[in-house]
Amino acid sequence: MDSDLEKTMLSRTRIARAFLTLTIFGTVSAFAQATLEIKDYLTLPMTGLVDGKGSNDLLLSRVNTLREEAGGSRRFFISDLNGPLYIVDKETKKFTVYLDFNGNSGKTGIFHKLTIVNGYGNGLNGFYLDPDYTKTGKFYTVHIENPALPGSNLPDNSHFPGLNVSGYTTTQAIKTPGPLQHEGVLIEWTDSNPSNSTFEGTAREILRVQLNTGSHPMGDLIFDPTARPGDPEWRVLYLECGDGASGESNNAAIRSNPQRLDTLEGKILRIIPDLNEHTNTSTVSENGRYRIPNDNPFVSIPGARREIWAYGFRNPHRLSWAVDPTNPANNRLIANSVGLHTWETVNIVHKGANYGYSLREGNELLQRDNKTAPRPEVDKIPVQIGEDFTDVLVTPTYPVVQYGHVPTGGDAIGSGFLYNGKAIPALRGKYVFTDISTGHIWYANYSEMLAADDGKPDTLAPMHALKLLWGKETYDSIFPIAEIGYHARGGKNPHLPGFAAVTNGGRADARLAVDASGELYIYTKSDGMIRAVVGASGL
Ligand SMILES: [Ca+2]
Ligand SMILES: [Ca+2]
């Protein structure tokens, strides 16, 4: 979803509606009464404006992640794209600013070149705790910088004196073909006292990646939660990098970036941030700041980036692990990728697989005019390294769930999780996911997602709509709930602000999170609220 393409999207969406509504409505109707009960849980400090007029300041707070220490129970870590990273006491609901990334001119945070004004994923876009955080004090962040902004790109600790910046150096940005706007920066933080709510320790830049535009940047990151010390996956980081909107560009020089194995855009990466881990089964990166596992798929392909785990994505901005508690070998990495005009997708990520973009979208061909069409008879894509195709052909890997840009669907897929909590047994075995703009929530049966991961593009897992019980009323999505919340907090727009084609105005800006126990939360940037899922019925 990109604002410069709004008008085109709207007309195409209308044409597609008649055909697609029938399909999706037919799927959801039999489960129409399945309902999640939600309750207001946390109110984020407001970092936006009640009368904001830009693309981002109209969201009351841009809450973007909620994390909890493994085994933890007394506090949450919550990040806001506008800069703050909070520690929240679960009992008192008190927010403490742990770090603030917004060091723009006139602000008191750490990074002078943080960019937050435009582009939905810009700002403090990624945050994940080391699986051993309570011992190591380590955590990882991704933030987006605009090199053209004034000031240094070194961290400024004026207002965070506990941060020792001596010896901090930036890294050379990994090159991306084409015109460039932003850089995505991965940093490892080490807090010498992880038990309190302030930061005291050091930071280390691990990776910096050039990005073509302010859209679809680098962001989400995750460790396999079941890995333990000694396991091959222990402290191995998966990190997604969007395509920087290269794949939909008319500029032929960048349109193939998601397919090019010599760039990091449009990829899911797999690296070992700690240079002391897995030293016998990995090699040190070019910049000397991290390690690359020897079993990454392209480590021995000349010219390919060794960090790449899977490729051919537009904006795989949310990652999650679907865990099999009886056998970690069955764990699956899942990526939700935002589509251009047609298909929002859930993808099971396989080592080395090509997810097709920008030559495919959903289970269709994507043409040079950015319209979809039936797949070619011979469904192969040549491997591309540099500007030229190689002689090697691969069959693309297709989504296991997809939905269209229709009223019962949405504009941009949000996050999703295979429920593995205890509080709501009816949700077990269900992958729950959301659309960002319409705020629809669905589930797919995970067994049907695995069955759809069969190499056949036309087999997909059915999706089932979830209604929401909030207070005494039941709603079709979180959109009207966020609208009430937005007005209750003083929001001046008559409806939810922002633009989205399918909602015909207004964005709920809804995503899901899970805590350490696997329980679900729904958060909405529009009203800056986090609501807990506390029950379910009709499942
Ligand atoms: Ca501390
Ligand atoms: Ca399939």
Burial label, 539 (beta-carbon count in 10 A; 0-12, 13-18, 19+):
middle
Give dist(CA 234, CA 149) in Å, integer: 38
User: Which numbered ligand comes closest to the C-alpha of 202?
Assistant: 1
Mean pLDDT along residues 285-298: 98
Which ligand is closest in space to the CA of residue 195?
A: 1
* Average pLDDT estimate for 416-430: 97
Nearest to 266 by CA among 303, 215, 314: 314
* 325: confidence class by pLDDT, cuts 50, 70, 90: confident
**Coil/strand/helix, residue 134:** helix
**Mean pLDDT within 299-312:** 98
What lies within 8 Å, CB to CB, of 107 at 6+ separation is 83, 100
Residue 111 has pLDDT above 50, yes or no: yes
Task: Using the structure block, give the residue that is written with the tokens 């005494």.
Answer: 472
Mean pLDDT of 171-195: 98
Q: Which ligand is nearest to the CA of 402?
A: 2
Q: Where are the alpha helices (DSSP H) in 381-519?
A: 446-452, 479-488
Q: Tell me the average pLDDT across 490-512.
A: 93
Distance 164 CA to ligand 1 centre (A): 13
How many angstroms is it from 492 CA to the middle of ligand 2? 45
Q: So what's the pLDDT on residue 26?
A: 38
60-79: b (≥16 Cβ within 10 Å) or e: bbbbbbbbbbeebeebbbbb
**Closest ligand by atom to 199 CA:** 1
Sign of the alpha-carbon torsion through 183, 188, 191, 196: positive
Q: Is the pLDDT of residue 105 over 90?
A: yes
DSSP summary character for residue 236? P
- Alpha carbon of 398 to ligand 2 centroid (Å): 6
pLDDT band at 72 (very low <50, low <70, confident <90, very high): confident
3-state secondary structure of 520: strand
Yes or no: say if 461 and 453 are a contact pair by the CB < 8 Å rule: no
Going by pLDDT thresholds of 50, 70 and 90, the confidence category of residue 44 is very high
Ion ligand 2 — residues with CB < 5 Å: 452, 454, 456, 459
Residues 231-258: pLDDT tens digits? 999 999 999 999 999 999 999 999 999 9
Ligand nearest the Cα atom of residue 139: 1
Centre of ligand 2 to C-alpha 382, Å, is 21
Name the residue with tokens 């945070």.
109
Give residues with Cβ within 8 angstroms of 201, minimum separation 6.
Answer: 137, 162, 163, 164, 189, 190, 191, 192, 193
Environment class of 18 (CB within 10 Å of its CB; exposed 0-12, middle 13-18, buried 19+): exposed
Q: How far is the CA of 219 from the centre of ligand 1 (A)?
A: 24
Closest ligand to C-alpha of residue 201 is 1
Nearest ligand, CA of residue 451?
2
Q: Are 205 and 112 in contact (CB under 8 A)?
A: no
Select from 211, 88, 157, 118 the least CA-distant residue to 515.
Answer: 88
Ligand nearest to the CA of 163: 1
Q: Which ligand is nearest to the CA of 75?
A: 1
CA 193–ligand 1 middle distance (angstroms): 4
Separation of 472 CA from ligand 1 center, angstroms?
41
The ligand whose atoms approach the alpha carbon of 398 most closely is 2
Instruction: Measure 199 CA to ligand 1 centroid, in angstroms.
Output: 4
Reference 120, options 214, 26, 4; nearest CA is 214
Q: How far is CA 412 from CA 29, 82, 114, 299, 415, in A?
A: 22, 21, 24, 33, 10
Q: Which residues contact 389 (CB under 8 A, 6 or more apart)?
A: 382, 383
Average pLDDT over residues 44-64: 97
137 CA from centroid of ligand 1 (Å): 8
Ligand 2 center to 447 CA (angstroms): 13
Counting ligands in written order, which one lies closest to the CA of residue 200? Answer: 1
For ligand 2, the distance from its centroid to the CA atom of residue 114, given in whole angstroms, is 40
- Ligand 2 centroid–CA 349 distance in Å is 13
Paired residues of 523 in beta bridges: 511, 530
Residues 6+ apart with CB under 8 A from 170: 153, 154, 205, 208
Q: What is the tens place of the pLDDT at every residue in 206-226?
A: 999 999 999 999 999 999 999
Share of the chain above pLDDT 70, in %: 94
Q: Is residue 254 within a helix (H) or strand (E), and if so which, with residue range?
A: helix 252-255
Provide the pLDDT confidence category of residue 504 given band limits of 50, 70 and 90. confident
**Sequence-distant (≥ 6) Cβ neighbours of residue 377 within 8 angstroms:** none
Ligand 1 centre distance from Cα of residue 230 (Å): 27
Residues 402 and 344 sit within 8 Å (Cβ to Cβ): yes
Looking at this protein, which amino acid is placed at residue 466? L
Indicate whether 112 pLDDT > 80: yes
* Ligand 1: centre distance to CA 94 (Å): 16
pLDDT number for residue 2? 44
201 alpha carbon – ligand 1 mean position (Å): 8
**Rounded Cα–Cα distance for residues 129 and 198 (Å):** 15
Q: Which ligand is nearest to the CA of 397?
A: 2
CA–centroid distance, residue 457 to ligand 2 (Å): 5
Closest ligand (CA of 460): 2
Q: Ligand 2 centroid vs 399 CA: distance in angstroms?
A: 7
CA of 412 to the centre of ligand 2 (A): 21
Sequence-ordered list of residues with C-beta below 8 angstroms from that of 417, at least 6 positions apart, any chain: 320, 431, 432, 433, 512, 513, 514, 518, 520
* CA–centroid distance, residue 449 to ligand 2 (Å): 8
Q: How close is the Cα of 456 to the center of ligand 2, in Å?
A: 4
CA 356 distance to own-chain centroid: 19
Q: Which residue has the tokens 């030559």?
A: 359
Task: Round to whole Å and give the CA distance between 236 and 130.
Answer: 10
Rounded to the nearest whole angstrom, what is the distance from the C-alpha of residue 527 to the centroid of ligand 1? 30
Kindly tell me the sign of the dihedral angle through the C-alpha atoms of 333, 338, 340, 342. Answer: positive
Average pLDDT, the chain: 94
Ligand nearest to the CA of 162: 1
Relative to the alpha carbon of 449, which ligand is closest? 2
Tokens of 154: 């070194």
Q: Other C-beta atoms within 10 Å of 251: how many?
A: 11
Residue 227 CA to ligand 2 centre (angstroms): 28
